[in-house]
Protein backbone atom coordinates (compact mmCIF):
# COMPACT_ATOMS: atom_id res chain seq x y z
CA UNK A 1 0.00 0.00 0.00
CA UNK A 2 1.42 3.35 -0.99
CA UNK A 3 1.60 6.41 1.23
CA UNK A 4 -1.13 8.26 -0.67
CA UNK A 5 -3.55 5.33 -0.27
CA UNK A 6 -2.76 5.17 3.47
CA UNK A 7 -3.54 8.89 3.75
CA UNK A 8 -6.86 8.38 1.93
CA UNK A 9 -7.74 5.54 4.31
CA UNK A 10 -6.93 7.73 7.32
CA UNK A 11 -8.91 10.63 5.83
CA UNK A 12 -11.90 8.35 5.30
CA UNK A 13 -11.57 7.03 8.84
CA UNK A 14 -11.50 10.62 10.23
CA UNK A 15 -14.56 11.57 8.20
CA UNK A 16 -16.38 8.60 9.71
CA UNK A 17 -15.33 9.62 13.22
CA UNK A 18 -16.33 13.25 12.67
CA UNK A 19 -19.66 12.24 11.19
CA UNK A 20 -20.53 10.07 14.20
CA UNK A 21 -19.39 12.57 16.87
CA UNK A 22 -22.46 13.89 18.70
CA UNK A 23 -22.90 17.62 18.87
CA UNK A 24 -23.14 19.20 22.30
CA UNK A 25 -25.75 21.90 22.68
CA UNK A 26 -25.46 24.33 25.57
CA UNK A 27 -28.16 24.21 28.20
CA UNK A 28 -29.41 27.52 29.53
CA UNK A 29 -30.16 27.28 33.23
CA UNK A 30 -32.84 29.52 34.69
CA UNK A 31 -31.26 32.47 36.44
CA UNK A 32 -32.85 34.15 39.41
CA UNK A 33 -31.74 37.74 39.67
CA UNK A 34 -31.13 38.71 43.29
CA UNK A 35 -33.13 41.72 44.35
CA UNK A 36 -31.99 44.09 47.02
CA UNK A 37 -34.58 45.42 49.39
CA UNK A 38 -34.17 49.08 50.08
CA UNK A 39 -34.80 50.44 53.52
CA UNK A 40 -36.20 53.90 53.95
CA UNK A 41 -33.92 56.30 55.80
CA UNK A 42 -35.65 59.38 57.12
CA UNK A 43 -33.60 62.28 55.85
CA UNK A 44 -36.35 64.88 55.93
CA UNK A 45 -34.81 66.69 58.86
CA UNK A 46 -31.24 66.05 57.72
CA UNK A 47 -30.48 64.32 61.03
CA UNK A 48 -30.14 60.74 59.80
CA UNK A 49 -26.67 60.59 61.36
CA UNK A 50 -27.63 61.36 64.92
CA UNK A 51 -24.27 61.57 66.67
CA UNK A 52 -22.02 64.36 67.82
CA UNK A 53 -18.35 63.72 67.05
CA UNK A 54 -15.01 64.73 68.56
CA UNK A 55 -13.16 67.26 66.37
CA UNK A 56 -10.73 70.14 66.83
CA UNK A 57 -12.42 73.39 67.80
CA UNK A 58 -10.58 75.41 65.17
CA UNK A 59 -11.60 72.88 62.47
CA UNK A 60 -15.25 73.17 63.55
CA UNK A 61 -15.16 76.97 63.44
CA UNK A 62 -13.45 77.02 60.05
CA UNK A 63 -15.98 74.50 58.66
CA UNK A 64 -18.93 76.51 60.00
CA UNK A 65 -17.64 79.65 58.28
CA UNK A 66 -16.29 78.20 55.00
CA UNK A 67 -18.50 75.12 54.60
CA UNK A 68 -15.62 72.71 54.07
CA UNK A 69 -15.73 69.13 55.36
CA UNK A 70 -13.84 68.09 58.49
CA UNK A 71 -12.77 64.69 59.83
CA UNK A 72 -13.82 63.46 63.27
CA UNK A 73 -11.81 61.25 65.60
CA UNK A 74 -13.80 58.22 64.39
CA UNK A 75 -12.96 58.99 60.75
CA UNK A 76 -16.32 60.42 59.72
CA UNK A 77 -16.00 63.21 57.20
CA UNK A 78 -18.79 65.77 57.09
CA UNK A 79 -19.70 69.46 57.16
CA UNK A 80 -20.99 70.44 60.61
CA UNK A 81 -24.21 72.45 60.41
CA UNK A 82 -26.19 71.46 63.52
CA UNK A 83 -25.89 71.99 67.24
CA UNK A 84 -23.97 68.98 68.67
CA UNK A 85 -25.65 69.46 72.08
CA UNK A 86 -28.84 67.88 70.64
CA UNK A 87 -27.21 64.53 69.84
CA UNK A 88 -25.47 61.75 71.79
CA UNK A 89 -21.72 61.43 71.38
CA UNK A 90 -20.47 58.94 68.79
CA UNK A 91 -19.50 55.65 70.53
CA UNK A 92 -16.45 55.18 68.28
CA UNK A 93 -15.20 58.67 69.10
CA UNK A 94 -15.63 57.92 72.83
CA UNK A 95 -13.68 54.64 72.55
CA UNK A 96 -10.83 56.23 70.60
CA UNK A 97 -10.63 59.21 72.96
CA UNK A 98 -10.44 56.82 75.95
CA UNK A 99 -7.71 54.83 74.17
CA UNK A 100 -5.59 57.98 73.86
CA UNK A 101 -6.17 58.89 70.25
CA UNK A 102 -5.72 62.55 69.40
CA UNK A 103 -6.70 64.66 66.44
Residue 2: the pLDDT is 65
User: Does some domain include residue 21?
Assistant: no
User: Does some domain include residue 65?
Assistant: yes
The closest of 57, 45, 58, 44 to 86, measured between CA atoms, is 45
| Banded pLDDT at 23 (limits 50, 70, 90) | confident
User: Does some domain include residue 69?
Assistant: yes
User: Does some domain include residue 9?
Assistant: no
Overall number of domains in the chain? 1
pLDDT in tens, 40-72: 544 445 445 789 999 999 999 999 999 999 999
Summarize the confidence of residues 82-101 as an average pLDDT.
90
User: Does some domain include residue 64?
Assistant: yes
The closest of 15, 29, 78, 19 to 50, measured between CA atoms, is 78
Q: What is the mean pLDDT of the chain?
A: 77
Q: Domain range spanning residue 78?
A: 57-98
Residue 39: the pLDDT is 56
User: Does some domain include residue 86?
Assistant: yes
- Between 79 and 20, the more confident residue is 79
User: Does some domain include residue 49?
Assistant: no
Amino acid sequence: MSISSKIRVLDNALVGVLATTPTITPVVAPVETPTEETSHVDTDGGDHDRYAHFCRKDDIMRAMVTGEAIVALCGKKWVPTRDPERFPICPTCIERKAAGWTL
